[in-house]
Structure formats: structure tokens, C-alpha cells
Amino acid sequence: MSIHSPHVAAEDRYDSMTYRRCGRSGIHLPGVSLGLWQNFGDATPLERQRDIILAAFDMGITHYDLANNYGPPPGAAERNFGAIFARDLGPYRDEILISSKAGYGMWPGPYGDFGSRKYLVSSIDQSLQRMGLEYVDIFYHHRPDPETPLEETMGALDHIVRSGKALYAGVSNYDAANTEEAIRILQGLGTPMLIHQPRYSMFDRRPEEALFDVIGEAGVGSIVFSPLAQGLLTNRYLKGIPAGSRITHSQFLNEGQAQNTVYLERASALNDIAAKRGQSLAQMAIQWVLRDDRVTSALVGASSVEQLRDNVAALSFDPLTGDEIAAIEPYAVHGTEWL
């Protein structure tokens, strides 16, 4: 990276991005946020990561989403992001929202996983060190801990915010009941929950059962991950599996899922609806999750600048009409991803 001069951000970076208020907070998030889950570990050249991250900022994407275990290996995404941030984005820190999480296994022994105060406070310190930051904007508990009392976990988030290591608190992967209780506890502590990060797409509709009602009533925002169902809601697999495709070496998908007849029928029908709108299936899938105003932002990954631009372009299309949403419904079937 030494061959590059520090990045000078595009002057028009805020002209075309859509921003949505996060619940009843003062925070607005871009309609599309950049997730550094799978493509920002040590297996991806740092120059490619830099190109994507800086292109995102120039497109008005102000929110970068990380976690302590993102890589591979765990910790690599934060370390790589920190290097790019120090080189190019430091002068723009006050324009940028950086989030991180902890809740999955990070180090050996009884204190390196789940939701204890010990683990969460240690995790935020490690994340800040890897990224070279004084604070993150949002710190999430990444998944529920069935054994640690919720009061302890939420108390740790409250402590982290009060210590200045994070500005806001959130949770991810919590069901409706645990979310409701977490909201109540944090409210009582004086650190309201800003945001929930659930998995949501046309093929995973669990948040519709009760979660969106809970956060909507409480004024909590949401940022949904895997809106493209790990690539199944794109046209990538409609005519076979391309050589070298991520699905051939992914721990989250397998080739059988993309070759399932029911999946192919549903995805092809959705692709046809998108084509009638003059857009890609991925673009329509992003618009579909954003049709509900309780969804603040769609979190997307990207393996190239071109892929990211295509996803962001979803925001430039007219919103889905009632008739289009009705036409989508027979094919937006929960569970299709796991057939």
C-alpha cells in the first residue's frame, strides 16, 4: 500500500446515497452498508480490499460492519480494515460509522466465547487495538448466550458505551423474546438499544414472525445480513455453478443447494420479475428487504468494486409496487435456502 497516496474522498459522495433513520435514534444509515464478513481476511489481497472499502465511501456508504471473528483467520478483517483506515480514511473518521461484535469463539479457555462481561470487555479492547481506533460507533453482542444471564451481557454493553469504547449498543441473531428483554434491560440502564442485526431475505423470513414487531414498537432500528442468501438470490447459479465460485469452497453453502430443483424454480421466477423491472435479481432482493421501514439498512458483502456498485444501484430503482410484492410472494418462501 506504500505506493499509494492517501485517498481523497469524492466530493459528491453524499449526492446519490439514500439514508434511513435507525429506529427513533438520531442515526441515519445508508440503504446499503458494507459488511466485512467473508472477503476481507488474509486470503484476499489487501489492495482489493482497499479498492472496495474506498469505493464504498465514495458511493456514500458510511457504515462498515465488522466482528472480532471475521477473517479468516479470526481478527484478520479488523486488522486489515485498520490498516486501510489508518492510511486512507482517518481524516474522515467523523463521517464514518464503524461497528464490531463479539459472541463467537475467539480464544481458548472459558473466557473467549459467548456473552460474559469478561469476554465482551476483553473483546472490545482487542478489536480497538486491531483497528487502531479509540472507539467504535456500534458494538453488538453477536449471538445469544443460553447460560449467561441477559442482565450480565447487557450490563457489559452498557459499561462499554459508558466507558467511551462504543457510542451505541446492539444485538445480533437474537429472537423476539430475548430482544424484547434485552431492550427492557438496556433501557433501564440508560443505554437504549440502537439496532438489531438479524438474518433476513426472501428465503429466510424469520424476523417477520415477531422480531420486526418488537423492534418497531420499541423504536429500535435493524440492519439485515445475508439479504442475498449468500448469493442464492442472484443470477449466479441459475445456469449451473461457475468454476471457482464461492459456493465450491464455502462453509455456509454447498453445491447441492444451488442445484436443487425447487430453489432453481423459485429463483428463476424471481429473476424474471426482476428482469421486467429492468434490474438484477440481487438488486430486487435488496429492495425487497428494504420495503419494510423497520429495516434500516441492507448489509452486503462484496468481492469486487463492480459487485458493490451493482448492489448499491438497487437504491436507484423505483420502490416495489404492491402488485410486484404480491407477485414475488409465492416464490419468496422461507426455508428455500436450506432445501
Residue 59's CATH number? 3.20.20.100
* Contact status, residue 257 vs residue 337, Cβ threshold 8 Å: yes
Count how many domains the chain has: 1
pLDDT, mean of residues 101-105 = 98
Position 89 scores a pLDDT of 98
Query: Tens digits of per-residue pLDDT, 108-151?
Result: 999 999 999 999 999 999 999 999 999 999 999 999 999 999 99
* Residue reference for cell 439496532: 195
CB 315 within 8 A of CB 17: yes
Q: List Cα–Cα distances, 282 to 146, 173, 201, 258, 278, in angstroms.
A: 35, 23, 11, 15, 12
In a domain, 77, yes or no: yes
The backbone region for 230, taken as left when phi is positive above 0, alpha when psi lies in -120 to 50, beta otherwise, is left
Is residue 327 situated within a structural domain?
Answer: no
For residue 126 the three cell numbers come to: 482487542
Dig out the grid coordinates for 180 from the structure.
424484547
What mean pLDDT is predicted for residues 65-84? Answer: 98
Q: Region 289-318: what's the mean pLDDT?
A: 97
Percentage of the chain beyond pLDDT 90 is: 88
Look at residue 189 and tell me if it is in a domain. yes
Length of the chain: 339
Average pLDDT over residues 280-293: 98
The one-letter amino acid code at 262 reads V
pLDDT at 164 over 80: yes
Instruction: Say whether pTM exceeds 0.85.
Output: yes
State the average pLDDT for the chain: 94
Domain presence at residue 39: yes
**Residue 240 and residue 222: Cα distance in Å, rounded?**
34
Percentage of the chain beyond pLDDT 70 is 93
On whether residue 259 sits in a domain, the answer given is: no
Q: Residue 3 pLDDT more than 70?
A: no
One-letter amino acid for residue 1 of the chain: M
In a domain, 121, yes or no: yes
**Residue numbers of the domain that contains 44:** 19-230+282-317
In a domain, 261, yes or no: no
pLDDT tier at 339 (50, 70, 90 boundaries)? confident
Q: Which pLDDT tens digit goes with each residue over 165-220? A: 999 999 999 999 999 999 999 999 999 999 999 999 999 999 999 999 999 999 99
> Which amino acid, 161?
V
* pLDDT at residue 42 is higher than 90: yes
Q: What average pLDDT score do residues 303-315 get?
A: 97
Whether 7 maps to a domain, the answer reads no
Q: Is residue 1 pLDDT above 50, yes or no? A: no
Alpha-carbon gap, residue 310 to 130, rounded angstroms: 30
